[in-house]
């Protein structure tokens, strides 16, 4: 099965390269550092590394505090961070440390992976969430590089997809020395697909907190958007989600309310701006950095890496990805700032967080955009009740924190198993 997987990857490699080049027409950074995807690298630091892979922006953000703790705890190592998207790379590069290397993950072919490993000499591989790469896992296992899957999660849908190729999945994930799962439900599903050792450690995102700079920028946004205007934030939206939300917002909310839309992908900024201007000619944009007119009812959040600041300035948060059958986005960041979260029907990527948040009364699940606006209006009616719910939301995230401490304790206990060079 592994040989067939490698053969298929070689066959589709030209298509994978073509896909990157097509993406680069919209997002030019996809064309940069292409050699890294073939295993070529020139590490700026030659000491052995702790290799941490975080596929994109969300996983990288969840890893920030972990990376800082790794640097403090294991001072004899540098940290190599790999990702697959320019957005994830940008987040990694913003971590202020001279002990970090950043590179794109090589294509999952043994030839490229072995060259990559020879270049960087990783002592261990830490894989964030659930990234199962047969060639990478197999080659690390052959070279006695222990693999630890951290903050791992697996939805019911993804589990069934992996079970269709159970032989390859089991052989791959069994290479991991341990899998640290977010919840008991995740642990059960990971065990079912073949993980050999699964430990429930909690969700690292509960340990994230906004920095002073992020909070200050959020206050600046509030002043630009209108200090007294109720602000509804549509966060990390996807294709097809913005239009119905905008329509129901404009027809169902008082004129003093402001809707801020932050698309999930920067390549969609211009298209969403065009859509907004067809519905509200006074629409504004964060990139203009100018005070928003009272006539303006829609604002585009056209910047990356500022989500905490958008969340800070808002009163209500609508989670994108949950109205387009994509499984939703993680509401924990919004909850940590005390925001009430409204999510659509598709939340299979974050079912447990949504379930627990709903029970706590801080996450509100609806079926469509019209219900979203109805709930938002209801929540904004009473400032006193909204203030009480803010305390509940913040308490909810604090109660569930602690995964970072458990994860670090486990990695420290496994230090002797790491490969020596």
pLDDT for 44 beyond 70: no
The Cα 295–Cα 2 span in angstroms is 60
The Cα 190–Cα 196 span in angstroms is 9
The Cα 367–Cα 385 span in angstroms is 24
CB 316 within 8 A of CB 340: yes
Token pair belonging to 394: 């913040």
37 — phi, psi (to 5°)?
-70, -10
14 part of a folded domain = no
> 216 with 126, same domain?
no
The Cα 344–Cα 331 span in angstroms is 12
Q: Would you state the pLDDT for residue 364?
A: 97
> 145 with 217, same domain?
no
**pLDDT, tens digit, 9 for 90 and up, residues 53-97:** 999 888 998 899 999 999 999 999 999 999 999 988 988 998 888
Secondary structure (H, E, C), 223-254: HHHCCCCCEEEEEEECCCCHHHHHHHHHHHCC
274 part of a folded domain = yes
Block residue for tokens 């209108």: 226
The residues, ordered by sequence, that sit 6+ positions from 350 with a Cβ below 8 Å of its Cβ are 327, 328, 329, 330, 331
> 272 with 310, same domain?
yes
149 part of a folded domain = yes
Instruction: Give the ranges where 110-241 is alpha helix by DSSP (H).
Output: 110-120, 134-142, 156-163, 166-173, 184-192, 212-225
- Report the CATH number that the domain containing residue 367 is assigned in CATH: 3.40.50.2000
> 230 with 113, same domain?
no
Q: How many residues does the chain have?
A: 421
**pLDDT, tens digit, 9 for 90 and up, residues 278-318:** 999 999 999 988 899 999 999 999 998 899 999 999 999 99
Sheet of strand 231-237, all strands in order from the earlier edge strand to the far edge: 284-285, 298-300, 258-263, 231-237, 316-319, 340-343, 363-365
> 328 with 372, same domain?
yes
> 41 with 69, same domain?
yes
The residue-averaged pLDDT of 394-413 equals 97
4 part of a folded domain = no
**pLDDT, tens digit, 9 for 90 and up, residues 128-179:** 998 999 999 999 999 999 999 999 999 998 999 999 999 999 999 999 999 9
In degrees, to the nearest 5, what angle opens at C-alpha 278 toward C-alphas 272 and 282? 90
> 43 with 102, same domain?
yes
> 172 with 245, same domain?
no
> 187 with 227, same domain?
no
Q: For residue 2, how many C-alpha atoms fall within 13 Å in the half-sphere facing its CB?
A: 15
* Cβ atoms within 10 Å of 23's Cβ, excluding its own: 16
> 218 with 141, same domain?
no
- Report the CATH number that the domain containing residue 102 is assigned in CATH: 3.40.50.11720
* C-alpha pair distances (Å), 17 with each of 22, 29, 112, 180, 369: 9, 14, 14, 33, 38
The residue-averaged pLDDT of 36-59 equals 86
pLDDT for 209 beyond 80: yes
In degrees, to the nearest 5, what angle opens at C-alpha 304 toward C-alphas 299 and 309? 65
Q: Would you state the pLDDT for residue 408?
A: 98
Active-site annotation holder among 59, 129, 242, 333: 59
The Cα 209–Cα 66 span in angstroms is 13
12 part of a folded domain = no
Q: What is the percent of the chain where pLDDT is above 90?
A: 86
Domain that residue 384 falls in:
212-399
**pLDDT, tens digit, 9 for 90 and up, residues 333-376:** 999 999 999 999 999 989 899 999 999 999 999 999 999 999 99
Domain count, the chain: 2
Tell me whether residue 59 is one of the annotated catalytic residues.
yes
Strands 284-285 and 298-300: parallel
Token pair belonging to 401: 């924190």
**Confidence category of residue 46, pLDDT binned at 50, 70, 90:** low
> 197 with 263, same domain?
no
**pLDDT, tens digit, 9 for 90 and up, residues 245-262:** 999 999 999 999 999 999
> 393 with 268, same domain?
yes
6 part of a folded domain = no
């Amino acid at each position: 099965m592994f040989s067939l997987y490698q053969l298929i990857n070689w066959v589709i490699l030209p298509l994978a390269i073509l896909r990157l080049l097509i993406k680069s027409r919209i997002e030019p950074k996809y064309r940069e550092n292409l050699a890294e995807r073939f295993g070529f690298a020139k590490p700026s630091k030659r000491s052995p590394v702790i290799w941490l892979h975080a596929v994109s922006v969300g996983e990288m953000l969840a890893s920030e505090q972990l990376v800082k703790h790794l640097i403090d705890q294991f001072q004899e190592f540098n940290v190599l961070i790999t990702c697959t998207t320019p957005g994830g790379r940008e987040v990694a590069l913003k971590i202020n440390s001279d002990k970090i290397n950043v590179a794109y993950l090589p294509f999952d072919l043994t030839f490229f992976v072995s060259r990559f490993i020879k270049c960087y000499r990783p002592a261990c591989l830490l894989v964030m969430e659930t990234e199962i790469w047969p060639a990478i896992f197999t080659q690390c296992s052959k070279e006695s590089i222990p693999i630890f899957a951290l903050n791992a999660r697996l939805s019911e849908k993804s589990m069934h997809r992996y079970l269709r190729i159970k032989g390859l999945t089991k052989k791959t994930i069994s290479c991991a020395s341990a899998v640290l799962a977010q919840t008991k439900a995740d642990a059960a599903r990971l065990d079912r697909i073949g993980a050999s050792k699964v430990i429930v450690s909690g969700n690292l995102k509960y340990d994230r907190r906004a920095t002073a700079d992020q909070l200050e920028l959020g206050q600046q946004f509030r002043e630009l958007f209108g200090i007294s205007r109720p602000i509804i934030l549509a966060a990390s939206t996807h294709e097809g989600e913005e239009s119905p939300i905008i329509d129901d917002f404009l027809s169902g909310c008082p004129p003093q309310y402001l809707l801020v839309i932050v698309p999930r992908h920067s390549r969609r900024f211009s298209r969403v701006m065009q859509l907004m201007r067809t519905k509200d000619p006074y629409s504004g944009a964060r990139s203009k950095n100018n005070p928003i007119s009272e006539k303006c009812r829609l604002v585009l959040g056209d910047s990356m890496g500022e989500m905490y600041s958008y969340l800070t300035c808002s009163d209500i948060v609508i989670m994108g990805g949950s109205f387009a059958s994509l499984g939703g986005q993680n509401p924990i960041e919004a909850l940590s700032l005390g925001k009430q979260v409204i999510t659509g029907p598709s939340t299979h990527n974050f079912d447990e967080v949504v379930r627990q948040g709903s029970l706590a009364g801080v996450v509100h699940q609806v079926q469509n955009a019209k219900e979203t606006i109805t709930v938002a209006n209801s929540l904004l009616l009473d400032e006193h009740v909204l203030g009480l719910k803010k305390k509940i939301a913040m308490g909810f995230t604090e109660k569930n924190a602690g995964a970072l401490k458990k994860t670090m304790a486990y990695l420290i206990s496994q230090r002797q198993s790491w490969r020596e060079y």
